[in-house]
Structure 1
């Protein structure tokens, strides 16, 4: 068993190290199965993002991954390139649509709502930057703030799908709540937990919100 307070990667237990190896293998298998299915959708989404306005199709956000390695997390662009100007204009116009973020393109709002803006992160999984399931990636800005317990989160690869998937999406969670879920996952990773997160996240993506 894993020693109390330690991540499995820090334990001398060979079965714990085997678990992490199996997780990497399962990541590669899942991506290999998913890529032929999502490739057509990837191309269609890329075209829609290009048509939504000037700017790159993909954005890279600098994050800190396992063992402190910095990588660029890919995602489809969901905002206008002049997002801040649009936000300031909306703030000056109280009659505008307050229920919609003026920085986000219509296609971007749909992509974010369904989690499809994260599809390019399958490439991060192939590269070994991320896992299919894991804690939320830590941005460089957050690392510079020396967020408490960050060292524990950096023992595992960050994930596309996160432990938040297991919590009712209508429940208002603070940043502290979300990070607590990440820490709990990092302390006790398990393939059974990964399976629950994947099933729940997929159910929500296809509209089965109550699952």
Structure 2
């Protein structure tokens, strides 16, 4: 076993493939973006993009892009909901997701089911902040929960998809995701990335583990 994704020549190969794939999908992305942006505006008239600071390579923070899937007054709605649903608090502590998130808009539910809300992260790849396949781009408040795996996981670029997304997705606990991401970095190969991308399409179309 080697830390394959930490080797310089493997990093160069992976980055090159990322940009080749990026160039081939950009025209399709912009066409889909026009449709999704119109649908979001039609739904509640709010902003199209959602930006959030995440942990990136070498522990540097960056702004991750997503399509907005939540109500503009999302925090107030969630606060009221959690007061009457304490089981959701316990679920979030384990999975870092809610079973039934009251903040999600109508178009947001559709985007999340098919993971279309993640598409704007293509712009993060264009900026050199993310990869097609890699560890999850962790939120800042999750840094301590990564424990002794934090330094290792944050030595590579996070990905739009990854091993944990095709190995159970939201059905995995936070700790299980971490284990899979360490395994991915240690055992990386170009073929593995290809398989993960193909399986991602299957998982998304099958709505496996979607929330």
Structure 1 regions of 5+ residues with no counterpart? 10-15
| Aligned partner of residue 148 in structure 1, secondary structure | helix
Instruction: Give 1:20's aligned residue.
Output: 11
| Correspondences of 1:8-157 after superposition (within 5 Å) | 8-9=5-6, 16-87=7-78, 101-143=101-143, 147-157=147-157
Instruction: Give 2:94's aligned residue.
Output: none
Q: Which protein is richer in helix relative to its size?
A: 2
Structure 2 regions of 5+ residues with no counterpart? 86-98
Q: TM-score, normalised by structure 2?
A: 0.82
Instruction: Give 1:165's aligned residue.
Output: 165
Summarize deviations over 1:1-52 as a string: whole Å, max 9, x none: 84xxx5653xxxxxx3211101001111111111111211111101111222
| Aligned partner of residue 143 in structure 2, secondary structure | helix
Deviation of 1:147 (Å): 3.0
Change (3 A) 1:106 1:191: same
Pairs aligned (count): 195
Instruction: Give 2:180's aligned residue.
Output: 181
Deviating runs (4+, > 4 A) in structure 1?
A: 88-94
Change (3 A) 1:157 1:206: same
Moved more, 147-156 or 112-121: 147-156
CA–CA distance in structure 2, aligned partners of residues 92 and 177 of structure 1: 29
CA–CA distance in structure 2, aligned partners of residues 208 and 80 of structure 1: 23
Deviation of 1:76 (Å): 0.4
Summarize deviations over 1:161-199 as a string: whole Å, max 9, x none: 0112331458x3111111111111122221111111100
Deviation of 1:206 (Å): 3.1
| Aligned partner of residue 132 in structure 2, secondary structure | strand
Higher gyration radius (CA): 1
Deviation of 1:203 (Å): 1.9
- Relative contact order, higher structure (CA 8 A, sep 6+): 2
Summarize deviations over 1:130-150 as a string: whole Å, max 9, x none: 000000012222225663210
